[in-house]
Amino acid sequence: MSFDSQMKKRVTEVKSIIENYLPEEQGFQRTLLEAMNYSMLVGGKKLRPLLMQQTYVMFGGKSAVVQPFMAAIEMIHTHSLIHDDLPAMDNDEYRRGKKTTHAVYGEAIAILAGDALLNHAYETAARAFEMEPDNRNIGRAFAILASCTGVDGMIGGQSVDVEYEGKPLTREQLTFIYHMKTGALIEASMAVGAVLAGASDEHVEQIRRIAQNVGMAFQIQDDILDVTGDEEVLGKPVGSDEKNHKTTYVTVMGLERAREDVARYSAEAVRLLGELPYENEFLHELILQLIHRSA
C-alpha cells in the first residue's frame, strides 16, 4: 500500500477516534459546543495525534489508552488555532479553506470556544486513568501534556511571539519562539506516545530531540509557504506574516538559508529516528512528508 493510501486510512481512523471524545451539542451552552466542534471538524491532517499514535505503536503500545491523549492533543492544537486567528492576533478569516471560528460565531464565542477546548482536552486525557488505573505511565504522560502546553511550552512561546510582533528579532529569539510555540506540541505528541508505551527514559529523551528538530523544520517550512505557497492549496491567505509585520525565519535568514535549514533539521530528525532500535516506516515517511509539505 502506498504512503498516500496509508495516510488516508490512518487519518480517517484518527478522526473517528477524536470524534468519539467531542462534546454533545445540547443545553443552554449549545452555541459554544457547536463552535468547539466546528473548529475540531473543519479539516486538517491530524498530524499531532497521528505522530502520537505512531510513536506509541513503534515502542510496542497496543492498548486504547493512547486514544484520549490523541484527542486531547488535537483539542489543544485547535484551541491555539482559534486564538491565533482572532483579530487581536493574526486576524485571519480563513483556515483550511473554511471560515475561521470567530468569522462564523463572533469574537467572544471564539475566545470561549478556545478556552473550552483547552479545558476539555485535560478532561479528555484524564479519562485514561479510568481505562488503566494501575498504569503509572499515564501520570507521566499527563504531566508532559500539561508542561508542553503552558507557560514553558506553547502558550509561553505564543506570548513572546505576540510581544515582539513588528519588532526585529534575533535568530536566537526566533528559535526560542519556534521551539516553544510550534515544537512543544509536536514534542508532547511524540513523547506522550513513547511514555505510554513504556519506552525507557533514554529513548523518551531521544524522541524529544527528534520532535524538536521536526518542530523547527515544520515551522520554518510554514514561513517559507507563507511566501511561496499557493493560497488554494494552503486553504488560507498567503502573505499574512508580512501583512502582520511579523519577523519570520525567512525575513531573518533569507529564503535560501531557510530552505537549507529545513533540510538540515529534517536530516537530523531522520538520523536520530534511525538510531532507535525500533522501526516504523510509516512514521519515518510521515515526518518527511510533514516537513517538506506544500500545504
For cell 519562539, the residue is: 177
Write the CB contacts of 100 (distance below 8 Å, at least 6 apart in sequence): 82, 85, 92, 93, 94, 110
186 and 48 Cβ atoms separated by less than 8 Å: yes
- The domain of 283 spans 3-291
192 and 145 Cβ atoms separated by less than 8 Å: yes
C-alpha cell at 87: 483579530
Q: Which of 44, 41, 40 is nearest to 11 (CA)?
A: 44
Q: What is the CATH number of the domain that holds 16?
A: 1.10.600.10
Burial label for 275, CB within 10 Å (0-12, 13-18, 19+), is exposed
User: Tens of pLDDT along the chain (295 residues)?
Assistant: 788 899 999 999 999 999 999 999 999 999 999 999 999 998 788 999 999 999 999 999 999 999 999 999 999 999 999 999 999 888 888 887 889 999 999 999 999 999 999 999 999 999 999 999 999 999 999 999 999 999 999 999 999 988 988 888 888 999 999 999 999 999 999 999 999 999 999 999 999 999 999 999 999 999 999 888 655 544 545 556 655 567 899 998 999 999 999 999 999 999 999 999 998 999 999 998 888 777 6
Whole-prediction pTM: 0.92
Handedness of CA 190, 152, 226, 112 (dihedral sign): positive
- Given this model, what pLDDT does residue 121 score? 98
- Given this model, what pLDDT does residue 213 score? 95
- Given this model, what pLDDT does residue 30 score? 97
Q: How many domains does the chain have?
A: 1
For residues 181 and 157, what is the distance between their CA atoms, to the nearest angstrom? Answer: 4
Identity at 181, one-letter amino acid code: K
- Given this model, what pLDDT does residue 241 score? 61
Listing DSSP states for 87-128 in one string gives: TTTT--SEETTEE-HHHHH-HHHHHHHHHHHHHHHHHHHHHH
